[in-house]
A and B are shown apart, each in its own frame.
Chain A
Amino acid sequence: MTAEPSALPPDPDGLIACPSCDALHRLRDVAPGETARCVRCHTVLEAPRRTAMTRIIMLALAALILMVAAIFFPFLELEAAGRIHRASLLDTVMAFSSGLTAPLTLAMAALIVILPVTRFLALIYVLAPMAFGWRPAAHAAPAFRLAEALRPWAMAEVFIVGVAVALVKVAGLAHIFIGPAFWAFVALVIVTVLKDNFMSRVTVWKTLEARRAS
């Protein structure tokens, strides 16, 4: 992209404004593999990758499956004085359910499970027709806006660091066994980070627009 210093075409269609700092750039085709950045604040404007759409869908699907595994298998197991206590992801969500901390139960469920799952579903819904070369699904635009709005609130990776801290805290108290769900969740985090790295918001929007018109 090139910054536009003086004379300006009257047609706003040939321009792109940096979403972060509002600097105008003249639109040009960005080749796959190339990354176009804002000349002023260096925010990534466009970063098309040849198989990005397919990869994002695959990773989102993988993340969904891992999430199901993480919910239903035992997460952590604690043994102290001959007694064993198991905790699943659901137990963790329900930890706040009694007393004054009850509202946090809902927030926990949302941050660890509901919002990430909603995001994966919305992404698959929006990008699957793109990957197959079909026309965008009905309400694809609001669905993608939702997925982007949820991005900071889906906190699976923060939760994993929380687990690590908690494990060290109880390590002296009892024996801890890590269940299969824990590893599913770790894999989920890696997959989520990979998926978000493939995503370039402007590119997705431009693809959606182009397909809608055709």
Chain B
Amino acid sequence: MENAGSAPRVLTAKAAGLVGCTQCGRVHAPGVALCSRCGAAISSRDGTSVQRVWAWLFAGLVVYIPANLYPMLRTTLLGKTTDSTIFGGVVDLIHHGSYGVATIVFVASIVIPVSKFIAIAYLALSVERKVSLSAHRRHVLYEVVEFIGRWSMIDVFVVAILSSLVQLDFAAQINPGIAAVSFALSVAFTMVSAQSFDSRLIWDADGE
């Protein structure tokens, strides 16, 4: 009987003593450094992958802190200036009654980044120790993380659009705050972190 929930046993390029290209799928004999089809650097497994994942993840985490503490938007209405942070912006939107947009901003700037940190850390940990989620589930999780990362940039774009549009001198003016920079960096760093992850490691941990 086959164990429910686990994938059928398959032979990998690594187990067969061959090296597969992660760009184009071409299979090479061991010892080849560059793929003969697409020219990408190939290796059986990326040994530094998990290290790089952690490094970029921590970098992203560090810059995510000032992104939440400092103002994202600086609004001047009739000479009165107010600063609003990411969370403050969400609260303002709720007060205005725009629940839909408040949800988009809240999900894109708080829920997605935080769950991304957790998901990447979980995936990196799962390579080294046994976890309850099956390899298939973790693979889906990885694809979701890779797909969704860029959508966190929404808030940075919103700040840019508002600051270029609302420039009515005295009546109303919106300027970007310093948190926009650290937030953009945080998104970029976590994107690199997710890209550094060698997804083949997910299945290796499961197979043996």
Contacts and interface: CB of A to CB of B under 8 A. Distances in A.
B153 interface: yes
Contact of A91 (B149, B164, B171, B176): B164
Interface size class of A (residues with CB under 8 A): 35 or more
Contacts of B131: none
B38 A16 contact: no
A186 to B, nearest CB: 14
Interface string B103-124: 0110000000000000000000
Interface stretch (A55-63, A80-88, A117-125, A127-135): A80-88
Interface in A18-50: 18-24, 39-41, 45
B96 interface: yes
A205 B24 contact: yes
- Name the interface size band of chain B: 35 or more
A103 B24 contact: no
B1 interface: no
B168 A24 contact: no
Contact of A111 (B28, B139, B153): B153
B27 interface: yes
B87 to A, nearest CB: 15
Contacts, number: 219
A80 B171 contact: yes
Given A3-B10, A145-B38, A205-B23, A21 B203 contact: yes
B25 A18 contact: yes
Given A104-B180, A104-B181, A18 B20 contact: yes
Interface of A: 3-6, 8, 12-13, 15-24, 39-41, 45, 76, 78, 80-81, 83, 85, 87, 91-96, 100-101, 103-104, 107-108, 111-112, 141-142, 144-145, 148, 152-153, 155, 158-159, 161-163, 165-166, 168-170, 172-174, 201-202, 205-206, 208-209
20 contacts: A3-B8, A6-B11, A24-B16, A39-B8, A78-B166, A80-B172, A91-B164, A92-B160, A95-B163, A95-B164, A96-B180, A101-B178, A144-B38, A152-B146, A153-B150, A162-B155, A166-B158, A169-B101, A205-B23, A205-B37
Interface of B: 7-14, 16, 18, 20-29, 37-40, 93, 96, 98, 100-101, 104-105, 136, 139, 146, 149-151, 153-168, 171-172, 176-178, 180-181, 184, 188, 191, 195, 199-200, 202-204
